[in-house]
Structure 1
Amino acid sequence: MRTYNLESHQNEVLEKGFTIINAVFSEKEIEGIIHTIENIDTSKDTFRKSEDLFAIRQFLKEAPESVDSIFIDRIKEIIKDIFGEKYFVVKSIYFDKPEKSNWYVAYHQDLTISVDKKVDLPDFGPWTTKQNQFAVQPPLDVLENIYTLRIHLDHTDEENGALKVISNSHAKGIYRPETIDWTIEKEEICKVERGGVMIMKPLLLHGSNRTTNGKKRRVIHIEFSDIELPEELQWSERMHIM
C-alpha cells in the first residue's frame, strides 16, 4: 500500500473542495466488500433498481457486515486526520452505475441531510420524504461541516461516469448550477483508481456523464459530521466508527 501525506490532502479539500487518495484498499479488501454487497437481500424499500442505476440507501444499516470491511485502520486514520476525531457517519449510499448505463447527473450540490422525522424548526427546509425516509435542507453551517467519503470499487474515469466538479465551488454557499459563469469556472474530472477514495465537501458542484466504455462504476458514498442537531431531531443513520 502507498503512504500518503494526509496534511496535504486536508489542505486540498479545504482549498478545492475535494481530494483523491488512491491505493487505500487492497484488491483483496475490495473483493471482500463486493462479495458482501452481492449477498445482500435486494428486495427492501431502501433499494432502487433500474437499467441505469442500482442503489442501496442507508447502506451501512442494510449491510452491517460490511462495516468492519470498510472502516479499516487506514480509513479511520484518514477520517481522524482530515475530518477530525469527533466525526461520525450520518448517511450512506451504495451506487452501482452498470456497464450500459445512460444515467446522466447534471451539476448540483448535495443540500439535504437524512433525519429521523419531520419537525418544524427555524432554518430547516424544504423537506422531502421517500420510502419513509426524511430529508431536509439544514442551515448552511451544517452543510459546510459535512465531509463525504466515496470509496471506489472500480477504476473510474471520464468514460464510465467519474464525477466532474467545479473546483472551489464549495466555498460559495448555495451556488445554483444555472448561474455558473464558465468564463471563470473550470471543470475537473475526478479519476479514481479501484481501491481509492475521493473526499469531497457536499457543497462542491458535481455531476457525472453517461458511461461510454461498457465498464461498471460502483461507489460507496458515506457522509460524516460532528455537529449535534437540535434536540428534536436526530441523524437517521448516526454511527460512531472511531
Structure 2
Amino acid sequence: MTWAEQLERDGYALLPAAIAPAAVAEAVRTWSEITAANAEADAVLTGSAGPAYGARNVLDLWPGVVSLVRTGPVRNALRVTLGPGAGVVRGLYFDKPPGHSWALPWHKDYSLAVKERRPSSHFTKPTVKAGVPHVIAPQSVLDRMLTVRIHLDPMTPDNGPLRVIPGSHRFYDQRNDEPRDAVTLECGAGDALLMRPLLTHASGHSRAETGLHRRIVHLECAADCVLADGFEWMWFCNVEG
C-alpha cells in the first residue's frame, strides 16, 4: 500500500526519513535558541519552573520552519494531496520533556487561526489563543487540509506516543466514529507523519523513568488560500516557496 492509499483509507500515513539527520539536528538547535530568546512570550508554553513543552504561533517565532515541508518527500505529498497552491496556515510545537510529561484525551482538530473574527455562517466558536483569533471550521474546510508532524526525536512506547483511530477522519463528530481499535504509532527522528485534521487521536504520559524528549513540529496545511465569509488565514506560506 502506498502512503497516498493509506492516507485515503486510514486518515494518516508515515513518510520515513523525510528529513535528513543534519536538518533535524539544525532544527533542534534553532528551536532551542528561539525558545530561550522568547521564554517569556505567551506563545511559548512552560510549566512551573519547567522547560518549554509546547508553543503556538511558530510561524512568527520561526519563519524558517516552513523549509521542513519544502523537502522532496513532504512537498511531493502536499502537492499530490492538496495541489500546487497549498500553504502552511498554522504551526505548533510539542514536547514531552523528561520529568515534565503531559497527556491529551481523544479529540479531533477543528481550529483555524484567522486574522480577525466576523459574523459567519461557516465558522463558529471564536476564541483567542496567544493573541491570535481562532474559529472552528466546518468539515468542508477541514477535508481540504493536511497536517504534517515532523518528528525531531524517535517516538516510542516510552515517551507518550500518538494513538489514532484509523478511518475516523471521515466523521466530523467523534461520537459518529466507527468502532475501530486504536493504533499506537512509533517512528524515528526525521520521519514525517501526515494526518487529516478530523483523525481522532490522543496521547498518554511518558513513562516516569524515560530520559527521552518527544519533540514534534506540527504544521497545518491547506489547499486554498481563500476562506469563506471574508475570513483570511492568519498565515499562509506557500509550500512551493
2: distance between equivalents of 1:65 and 1:240?
A: 12
Alignment of 1:126-165 (within 5 A): 126-165=125-164
Deviation string, structure 1 residues 76-95 (Cα, Å, up to 9, x no partner): 22321333222111111111
SS in 1 for 2:76: helix
SS in 1 for 2:95: strand
Alignment of 1:79-118 (within 5 A): 79-118=78-117
Greater shift in the superposed pair: 82-91 or 33-42: 82-91
Aligned to 2:63: 64
2: distance between equivalents of 1:201 and 1:214?
A: 30
1:224 to 2:218 alignment: no
2: distance between equivalents of 1:36 and 1:102?
A: 22
1:14 to 2:8 alignment: yes
Code of the aligned partner of 2:213: K
Aligned to 2:41: 44
SS in 2 for 1:48: strand
Structure 1 unaligned residues grouped into runs of 5+: 1-6
Aligned to 2:196: 201
Structure 2 unaligned residues grouped into runs of 5+: none
Aligned to 2:233: 235
Structure-2 change in CA distance of 1:13 and 1:52 (3 Å): farther
Code of the aligned partner of 2:165: I
Aligned residues: 232
Native 8 Å contact 1:32 1:69 kept in 2: no
Which of 22, 31, 44 is 1:28 aligned to?
Answer: 22
Deviation string, structure 1 residues 23-71 (Cα, Å, up to 9, x no partner): 1112111101111111112232211111485222121221124433553
Aligned to 1:3: none
Structure-2 change in CA distance of 1:154 and 1:19 (3 Å): same
Structure 1 residue 180 displacement after superposition: 6.2
2: distance between equivalents of 1:69 and 1:185?
A: 32
SS in 2 for 1:74: helix
2: distance between equivalents of 1:67 and 1:144?
A: 21
Native 8 Å contact 2:19 2:190 kept in 1: yes
TM-score normalised per structure 2: 0.89
SS in 2 for 1:55: strand
Structure-2 change in CA distance of 1:192 and 1:17 (3 Å): same
Deviation string, structure 1 residues 85-126 (Cα, Å, up to 9, x no partner): 221111111112111233011000001111111111113111
1: distance between equivalents of 2:222 and 2:212?
A: 33
SS in 1 for 2:110: coil
Native 8 Å contact 2:69 2:239 kept in 1: no
TM-score normalised per structure 1: 0.89
Code of the aligned partner of 2:188: E
Structure 1 residue 171 displacement after superposition: 0.7
1: distance between equivalents of 2:15 and 2:93?
A: 19
Structure 1 residue 165 displacement after superposition: 0.5
Identity across matched positions, percent: 24
Deviation string, structure 1 residues 170-224 (Cα, Å, up to 9, x no partner): 1122213xx767xx32100111111101000010100001001231000000011
